[in-house]
């Protein structure tokens, strides 16, 4: 529990064993970034964690979309989905595009 008015304490340093080749690559990256080795290692870890989380979220979204598509396909095969004309489809897209243009115009103000 943090004491009121004080910043929470750092968890402390983490010791990581690495090969000399990996250390050389890390030092080269640190030089490219203009940082020390520790800040570079911390930055790389944060960047990679963000990528992993994003990939995980994208995977969940894809699974959800696939399930929805399969549900619709099942409904189509059962005859529960009415067919639409191309005119109806075009009208839906025109309406959606007009709504998107209005939103982007409102955001630019």
What pLDDT sits at residue 17? Answer: 95
Q: What predicted TM-score, i.e. pTM, was given to this entire model?
A: 0.58
- Write out pLDDT tens, residues 24-79: 999 999 999 999 999 999 999 999 999 999 999 999 999 999 999 999 999 999 99
What would the two tokens of residue 108 be? Answer: 């630019």
Between CA 67 and CA 73, with CA 72 as vertex, the angle to 5 degrees is: 95
């Amino acid at each position: 529990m943090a004491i009121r008015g004080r910043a929470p304490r750092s968890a402390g340093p983490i010791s990581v064993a690495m090969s000399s080749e990996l250390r050389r690559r890390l030092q080269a990256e640190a030089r490219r970034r203009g940082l020390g080795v520790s800040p570079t290692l911390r930055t790389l870890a944060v960047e990679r964690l963000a990528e992993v989380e994003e990939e995980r979220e994208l995977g969940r979204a894809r699974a959800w979309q696939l399930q929805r598509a399969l549900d619709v396909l099942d409904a189509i095969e059962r005859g529960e989905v009415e067919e639409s004309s191309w005119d109806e489809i075009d009208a839906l897209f025109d309406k959606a595009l007009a709504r998107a243009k209005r939103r982007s115009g409102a955001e630019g103000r």
